[in-house]
Amino acid sequence: MIHEIASDIYYVGINNRSKELFESLWPVPSGVSYNSYLILDEKVALVDACDLNMIQEYADQLENLLNGRPVDYLIINHMEPDHSGAIKMLRQMYPDMKIIGNLKTFGMLKGFYSIEDNLHQVADGDTLTLGKHTLRFILTPMLHWPETMMTYESTTETLFSGDAFGCFGALNGNPVDKNIDTTPYWDEMRRYYAAIVGKYGIPVQTALKKLKDIPLSRICSTHGPVWEEQLADAIAAYDRYSRYEGEDGVVIAYGSMYGNTGQLAEKIAEQLSRRGVKKIIIHNVSVSEPSQILSDIFRYKGLILGAPVYNNALFPKMESLLMDIRSRQIANRVYACFGSYVWTRNALNRLSEFGNEMKWKSATVHVCQECSCDLRSQDGCVQLASSFTDLLNGE
Ligand SMILES: Cc1cc2nc3c(=O)[nH]c(=O)nc-3n(C[C@H](O)[C@H](O)[C@H](O)COP(=O)(O)O)c2cc1C
Ligand SMILES: [Fe+2]
Ligand SMILES: [Fe+2]
């Protein structure tokens, strides 16, 4: 898709609607866009590229727009192959093209593509003039790779932000938020964040502080819409996610082989509802997709986990969820847990220790049921919900 987003700055990204799993992990039922931008000035600069799989469509698009002119500079904000895959081919198409990156970029450029020549290394705050347009480079390490940086074009107040503020979901007809219905992209921004950026809350906060005093008219990320009208909402969303700030609501995620732990989940939900909790999301960890569970955990401040004992340990799908939560260092949750066993109680111990490890505020009551959901375990759910909602309401 070619679309002029600001004076002589063109969106030249490509949609991929056939990819099933982004990073071979995360489902993308609405596809994904690899966004790239071309600045036509006295010098021509390309900001980020695309995946190798989409190279033909991408190259044709560039040639159409360039009308015989070469690309003078390729700015690499991020070396992950969904954006850098096209670099080798671009070098063949435009042999004099200078590649702009930072010290860390160039180590990866050599490692991935054996490219070591015609490079221009930039440091934080360095500028590059193209003619009318001037670019400034803002290093934002670990967002979500070590070399990640952003590029700011000052005359149009355009920020090329790399993966930050990006979403899953291909673009339908137009890249700019004001021209499209952005409703589906907001959930996909949170799911993208939860899946891919979620571990890097502190680097995201550092980057947001660096951006604070920079006048912005649009943010051009490498996936999903260009944020113009809703730019402030995108920044506010990243601020919330990276501070692990949860909205009112509770996620109950449980594992269950034969339904007994599942019954506890239902009982707990009923009890929460009786106590006025309106937003309750229940995930069966064997059915719900992990990035969707993580996305909801990022969204809501209440979290209740439940699972049976399995081979003297925790039900494996729940253990996997714990690993996903721990690796993202999700903080500030109000927590309770429940579980089932027949002869060893250790699943619940594992779940309650996990809450301590994460330094979450834990309810004083957890439910540990033997064999089936009897009257005693149902009473436990009442106690758990009471203790949990007290904590949620800050009592
Ligand atoms: C493969 C397998 C391994 C299990 N290992 C244990 C165990 O080590 N200790 C234990 O107390 N119960 C164990 N159980 C029993 C379950 O924890 C128990 O049946 C529980 O009620 C299952 O809850 P559910 O109905 O929600 O699946 C195991 C069950 C299965 C199928
Ligand atoms: Fe990335
Ligand atoms: Fe990306």
3 state SS of 72: coil
> pLDDT at position 335, please?
98
Say yes or no to pLDDT of 371 above 90.
no
Helices (H), the chain: 55-66, 81-84, 87-93, 103-113, 183-192, 201-211, 231-242, 260-274, 290-299, 316-327, 346-357, 375-392
Say how many Å lie between the CA of residue 91 and the centre of ligand 1: 58
| CA neighbor of 246 nearest in space, from 335, 365, 143 | 335
Query: Do 8 and 113 sit in the same domain of this protein?
Result: yes
Domain's final residue, options 242, 273, 295: 242
> pLDDT at position 375, please?
87
Instruction: Give one DSSP letter per residue of 20-50, joined into a string.
Output: SEETTTEE-TT-EEE--EEEESSSEEEE---
In this predicted model, what pLDDT tens digit does every residue of 166-209 receive, in sequence order?
999 999 999 999 999 999 999 999 999 999 999 999 999 999 99
Strands across the sheet with 218-221, in order?
A: 127-129, 134-139, 149-153, 158-162, 218-221
CATH of the domain at 341: 3.40.50.360
Say yes or no to pLDDT of 263 above 80.
yes
Say yes or no to pLDDT of 347 above 90.
no
Residue having the nearest C-alpha atom to atom 22 of ligand 1: 308
Say how many Å lie between the CA of residue 315 and the centre of ligand 1: 8
Q: Does residue 114 line the site of ligand 1, with CB under 6 A? A: no
Q: What is the mean pLDDT of residues 311-327?
A: 97
Q: What is the mean pLDDT of residues 355-366?
A: 95
In this predicted model, what pLDDT tens digit does every residue of 25-71 receive, in sequence order?
999 999 999 999 999 999 999 999 999 999 999 999 999 999 999 99
For ligand 1, pick from 256, 317, 341, 377 the residue to mutate: most ligand atoms within 8 Å of CB.
Answer: 341
Domain's final residue, options 192, 220, 242: 242
Say how many Å lie between the CA of residue 80 and the centre of ligand 3: 6
Say how many Å lie between the CA of residue 120 and the centre of ligand 3: 22
Query: Do 236 and 255 sit in the same domain of this protein?
Result: no
Confidence of residue 150 (pLDDT cuts 50, 70, 90): very high
Query: Do 277 and 349 sit in the same domain of this protein?
Result: yes
How many domains would you assign to the chain? 2
Confidence of residue 265 (pLDDT cuts 50, 70, 90): very high
Query: Do 216 and 260 sit in the same domain of this protein?
Result: no
Q: Does residue 308 line the site of ligand 1, with CB under 6 A? A: yes
Domain's final residue, options 220, 242, 264: 242
Q: Does residue 263 line the site of ligand 1, with CB under 6 A? A: no
> pLDDT at position 345, please?
83
CATH of the domain at 7: 3.60.15.10
Say yes or no to pLDDT of 102 above 70.
yes
- Both tokens of residue 243? 């501070």
Instruction: Give one DSSP letter per residue of 290-344, joined into a string.
Output: HHHHHHHHHHEEEEEEEEEEETTEE-HHHHHHHHHHHHTT--S-EEEEEEEESS-
Say yes or no to pLDDT of 232 above 90.
yes
3 state SS of 260: helix
Percent of the chain predicted with pLDDT > 90: 95
Query: Do 186 and 335 sit in the same domain of this protein?
Result: no
> pLDDT at position 365, please?
86
In this predicted model, what pLDDT tens digit does every residue of 136-145 receive, in sequence order?
999 999 999 9
> pLDDT at position 337, please?
97
206 contacts: CB under 8 Å, gap ≥ 6: 140
Report CA torsion sign: 56, 57, 62, 63: positive
> pLDDT at position 29, please?
97
Query: Do 57 and 142 sit in the same domain of this protein?
Result: yes
* H/E segment holding residue 134: strand 134-139
**What value does the mean pLDDT of the chain take?**
97
Query: Do 67 and 198 sit in the same domain of this protein?
Result: yes
Say yes or no to pLDDT of 395 above 80.
no
| CA neighbor of 115 nearest in space, from 97, 141, 130, 129 | 97
For ligand 1, pick from 256, 264, 310, 312 the residue to mutate: most ligand atoms within 8 Å of CB.
Answer: 310
In this predicted model, what pLDDT tens digit does every residue of 199-229 receive, in sequence order?
999 999 999 999 999 999 999 999 999 999 9
> pLDDT at position 346, please?
79
Q: What is the mean pLDDT of residues 324-352?
A: 94
Query: Do 230 and 178 sit in the same domain of this protein?
Result: yes
Query: Do 196 and 265 sit in the same domain of this protein?
Result: no
Query: Do 238 and 106 sit in the same domain of this protein?
Result: yes
Query: Do 163 and 211 sit in the same domain of this protein?
Result: yes
Domain limits at 132?
3-242
Count Cβ atoms below 10 Å from residue 276 Cβ, excluding itself: 9
Query: Do 199 and 302 sit in the same domain of this protein?
Result: no
Q: Does residue 258 line the site of ligand 1, with CB under 6 A? A: yes
